């Protein structure tokens, strides 16, 4: 659910940004003052309908899965979560998750607090809202018009209670009015991400072809299983080595015993041969 443009009666009015020209002409102090005003308004609205942990977890898992996927593909993606977005002449808003392609993610220690289109020279490519206990009309009706008017290429909603995903896309070269993304069995394809979205196992999942992008916990479980197998193989190999060493030691001991017995036997034979020769010599 976006903490944006539907203002409760008790909330502070969310400010509209100036034109790009005015923004760029503002001093750093003027820009920061506007961001603080927008942030205060959005925080006031956020206190009206807190979403809770399922909402937070869904956003975090989606962001993590996408960051890892794009990293493995050698591609850049900027993913903002609960980060303000400022379009020229537009109302400040704060989507659950937004994506901008081909922009490196600055990492968790970056001090960026807003995506300001006038500064970045480009808008948002995709927005994902997570609907849990929030305003269904805002996410499924109002935002469809709001994000399309901004020129955001794709918009998705993950509906937790109904375990469904809805999606809209701007037509190529057409008016800024979203068209519903056709559903293929249980998935919706994102042209922006090059992935499919689906609700499966009580989670929002992303698919590349037929393979689901793994979550962190799943990767940890896989790593633990692999480590367990490696430890088991190492232990088994160690047991085989110990057994081979024991057998080699036993064989060496047997060989040594056989050599000692042979030497003793040869010595006894020599002794008996000498005694027999002495008996055969004629007496003087």
pTM: 0.73
Cα-based angle 38, 109, 129 (whole degrees, multiple of 5): 50
Number of folded domains that form the chain: 2
Domain boundary among 167, 188, 213: 213
Q: Does residue 198 lie within any of the structural domains?
A: yes
My answer on whether 160 and 266 are in the same domain is no
My answer on whether 137 and 248 are in the same domain is no
In which residue are the tokens 């509209």 written?
16
Q: Does residue 2 lie within any of the structural domains?
A: no
My answer on whether 245 and 192 are in the same domain is no
pLDDT at 6: 46
Cα-based angle 89, 83, 162 (whole degrees, multiple of 5): 105
Q: Does residue 6 lie within any of the structural domains?
A: no
User: What stretches of the chain show up as alpha helix (H) in DSSP?
Assistant: 20-25, 28-46, 53-72, 117-120, 136-137, 143-150, 216-280
My answer on whether 209 and 222 are in the same domain is no
Between the CA of residue 19 and those of 4, 86, 258, what are the distances in Å?
A: 19, 11, 100
Q: Does residue 92 lie within any of the structural domains?
A: yes
pLDDT at 220: 45
My answer on whether 71 and 175 are in the same domain is yes
Q: Does residue 147 lie within any of the structural domains?
A: yes
- Over its length of 284 residues, how does the chain's per-residue pLDDT go in tens digits? 554 454 444 557 889 999 999 999 999 999 999 999 999 998 887 654 556 788 999 999 999 999 999 999 999 999 998 899 999 999 999 999 999 999 998 877 678 889 999 999 999 999 999 999 888 999 999 999 999 999 999 999 999 999 999 999 999 887 899 999 998 888 999 999 999 999 999 999 999 987 899 875 554 444 454 454 565 676 667 778 888 888 888 888 888 888 887 787 777 887 778 877 777 777 65
Domain boundary among 172, 188, 213: 213
Domain boundary among 161, 182, 213: 213
Tokens of 17: 């940004």
pLDDT at 228: 45
Q: Does residue 8 lie within any of the structural domains?
A: no
* Residue span of the structural domain in which 79 resides: 20-213
């Amino acid at each position: 659910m976006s903490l944006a443009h539907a203002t409760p009666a008790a909330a502070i009015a969310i400010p509209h940004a100036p034109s790009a020209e005015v923004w760029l002409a503002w001093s750093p102090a003027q820009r920061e003052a506007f961001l603080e005003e927008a942030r205060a308004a959005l925080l006031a609205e956020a206190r009206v309908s807190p979403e809770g942990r399922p909402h937070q977890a869904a956003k975090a898992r989606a962001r993590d899965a996408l960051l890892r996927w794009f990293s493995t593909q050698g591609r850049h993606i900027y993913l903002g979560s609960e980060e303000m977005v400022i379009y020229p002449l537009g109302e400040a808003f704060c989507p659950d998750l937004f994506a901008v392609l081909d922009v490196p993610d600055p990492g968790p220690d970056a001090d960026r607090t807003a995506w300001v289109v006038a500064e970045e020279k480009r808008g948002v490519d995709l927005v994902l809202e997570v609907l849990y206990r929030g305003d269904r009309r805002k996410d499924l009706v109002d935002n469809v018009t709001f994000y399309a008017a901004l020129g955001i290429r794709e918009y998705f909603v993950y509906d937790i209670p109904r375990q469904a995903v809805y999606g809209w896309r701007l037509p190529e070269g057409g008016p800024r009015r979203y068209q519903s993304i056709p559903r293929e069995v249980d998935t919706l394809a994102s042209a922006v991400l090059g992935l499919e979205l689906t609700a499966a196992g009580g989670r929002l999942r992303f698919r590349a072809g037929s393979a689901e992008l793994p979550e962190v916990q799943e990767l940890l479980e896989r790593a633990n299983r692999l480590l367990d197998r490696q430890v088991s193989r190492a232990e088994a190999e160690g047991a085989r080595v110990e057994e081979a060493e024991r057998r080699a030691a036993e064989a060496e001991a047997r060989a040594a015993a056989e050599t000692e017995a042979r030497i003793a036997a040869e010595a006894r034979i020599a002794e008996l041969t000498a005694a027999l020769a002495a008996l055969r010599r004629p007496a003087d």
